[in-house]
Each structure stands twice: as structure tokens, then as C-alpha cells.
Chains A and B, each alone.
Chain A
Amino acid sequence: SAVISQKPSRDICQRGTSLTIQCQVDSQVTMMFWYRQQPGQSLTLIATANQGSEATYESGFVIDKFPISRPNLTFSTLTVSNMSPEDSSIYLCSATTGVNQPQHFGDGTRLSIL
């Protein structure tokens, strides 16, 4: 399975600032996704990162708050903009090689907003 690296692994940020999280896959993948997970909660899909086009956002998430890039088949970024304490969470990227294939996850970015 693909090896997925995320960075930073954790950060503590001031409210009102923005942070960009990077996700690098060691092989070409078809789809990449960004999730958020609050402590003790399940995964919430933020968006699907589409290569060469705008990301597809889930209900409750907007591009202005969570801009996403995917310039090629192995790399994506998620920016958390104008952060507030409510954005404190674990952010996870995942990737899959095809329909009906499992997703594999990066080890997450633990974000705390002061």
C-alpha cells in the first residue's frame, strides 16, 4: 500500500492565522481526501482533492476556509484559514488507488489554536 507522509505532525497556532498542511504519497494515486477528527469522534470528510481541478467540498466546509490544492497525482495541501479555537482538531489526509479500493491514511496533523 502507498506510504503517506503528512507535515507538520503537530502545531500550535494563534487565532486568526492560517496553516498549510502537506500530504505526500510515495506513488501515484487516483484520489486524495482530507478529513477532520475531533478527540473521541469519528472521521468527518472535509473534501476530495481533485487533481487539476477544484476540490469537492462536503456540506459544512467551504473553499474560503479550507482551500485545497492538488497539483499532481502524489501531493496535496490543505490550508486552515483564519483559525479559531473550534478548528483545533486532528487533520488527516488519505489516498486510494481506485474505486472499491481501501483508503490509506497519513499519520495526521494535530492542530491546537490558542
Chain B
Amino acid sequence: RKEVEQDPGPFNVPEGATVAFNCTYSNSASQSFFWYRQDCRKEPKLLMSVYSSGNEDGRFTAQLNRASQYISLLIRDSKLSDSATYLCVVNKTGGFKTIFGAGTRLFVKA
């Protein structure tokens, strides 16, 4: 079993749609969680951190369920510019080791 698992997609959605990505992690002691966005042929960029209380940044909402070892990202009112690969990222406890999921590809179409 991979340490961080994501649905690879691709997700094909129309503009204005709401789309949700899920991610599960295997190490129950993991401490910190992030979503990154990676555009084609570009480096990954931090989208948002994920907190147990849930957090929102504009059209993006991230949730963490420690009991189920599950992370989600919700994108509302999708824009064409949201088309990218979304990476779920988990930091291992006690160190700097970071595990990147394989990513979920999103295509938003007009």
C-alpha cells in the first residue's frame, strides 16, 4: 500500500462546477498535511495547508479527518485556470520527510 494515495483522475468538469479530491495516508502519526498544485512542465506550488479544523481560501476548502486518515480538497466554481495536477502531501512525524501523492489531474472545460 502506498503511503499517500490519490485518485489519479483525470477529472473533466465544466466551468462553474464543484469538484472534490480525496487522499488517504497510511501513517496515523503523520503531523502535517498540504495540497500542492502543479501545472504542466512547472514546479509544484503550495496551494494550502490542511488543518484538523478545516480551512478555506476563497473557492478552495481543505478538510482533514485524522480518525479516517483522509484529506480532501473541494474546489467551488471551477475556472479554466484551475486545470492542473493536485498533489496531496503528508509530513512524517518527527522529521522533515515529506511524502507526495501521485497527484490528481483536473481539466476544467469551457
A interface list, Cβ under 8 A from B? 1, 30-31, 33, 41-43, 45, 48, 90, 92, 96, 99-108, 110
Contact = CB atoms under 8 A, between A and B. Distances in A.
Interface string B85-98: 00101010011101
Contacts of A92: 43-44
Contacts of A108: 42-43
A105 to B, nearest CB: 4
Contacts, number: 46
B43 A102 contact: no
A104 B46 CA distance: 7
Contacts of B45: 105
Contacts of B102: 41-42
B94 to A, nearest CB: 8
